[in-house]
Amino acid sequence: MKQRTRIEQEKNYASYMQSQALLNAHHSNNARLVSIDSSWQIETCEQQLIVLTQELVAQMKHLKMLEQSLKQGDQIEIAFDQRGRILTIKARSDGATC
């Protein structure tokens, strides 16, 4: 019973965080996941390189800010808040490429 309640709370919190991200999203960029070796390297369509440490990637996955199924070469969308902080990284749903 306690385990089920904890799981439900985690799911509710993840859902809340996703809705907050949608409300707080200021802008988004399309990009390509270039590398996932020692750090994640993301190249935007404007040729800017964003590097995320493995620690940050792990934390973002835990907070459901990052899709679990992303792999090298995927086309992605990065949502940013007003201060330029990354809110979410997800696969592009429109299938377009840079």
Question: For residue range 3-55, what is the model confidence (pLDDT) as tens digits?
Answer: 777 777 777 777 766 666 555 557 888 999 998 888 899 999 999 999 999 99
Q: Could you state, in order of their start, the residue ranges of all structural domains in the chain?
A: 2-91
pLDDT of residue 20: 62
Number of residues in the chain: 98
Whether residue 70 has pLDDT greater than 70: yes
Whole-structure pTM value: 0.68
The Cα–Cα gap between 86 and 78 comes to 7
The Cα–Cα gap between 54 and 40 comes to 7
User: Average pLDDT for residues 65-86, to the nearest whole number?
Assistant: 90
Q: What is the DSSP letter of 65?
A: -
Residue type at position 50: I
- Using an 8 Å Cβ cutoff, are 71 and 33 in contact? yes
Q: CATH classification of 2-91 is 3.40.50.300, yes or no?
A: no
